[in-house]
Amino acid sequence: IVEFSLSSETDTVEREFGIEILSHKPEHIRMGRITNGAPWLADHNPKDQLGIIERASVIDSKLIVETRFSRNPRPNEVFVDVVDKIKIKTSVGYTVYDMEQVGVNNNGKRIFLVTDWEPYEGSSLSIGADDSVGAGRSFDAVLEQVKVEPEVIKEPTPQSVEPKKETIKKVDTKKTDVK
């Protein structure tokens, strides 16, 4: 199980309509789908599921999830990159139901606060919209306390597969005369 932060209340996420801020107040987030075995994906690709989200909660205005990676080869590759701190960025897939304009920034961009939204998946990726989330300090603490040895599952090779031992019946080739 790996803990990630998926979203925050950062004011740096730019969309076509302006700056988007996701409110993390309990009354603004619909937690039903993210807490019901939501998928953990690679790059928001539903055809590349790496695992599932076991638990989700909001702590210090961040959506925090505990993710269990599949033991199959592809998810294991990503898991090893997470452990090695190569693939530490995350992102959340979500639906926006309501938002309100709360201001304008110094560059004249409108700022919107999302006051009703529903997260439904998490993803490991290289570049996320919210750079303040990902595998962070809590993950480092887990790695320090527990020696994480990722299980590498290899495809069988001809050398790793033992040949079948066949029993061969010995046949008596001596002819006998029948009278």
Residues 6+ apart with CB under 8 A from 54: 1, 65, 66, 67, 68
pLDDT, tens only, 73-113: 999 999 999 999 999 999 999 999 999 999 999 999 999 99
Q: Is the pLDDT of residue 153 over 90?
A: no
Tokens describing residue 35: 């807490």
pLDDT, tens only, 13-32: 999 999 999 999 999 999 99
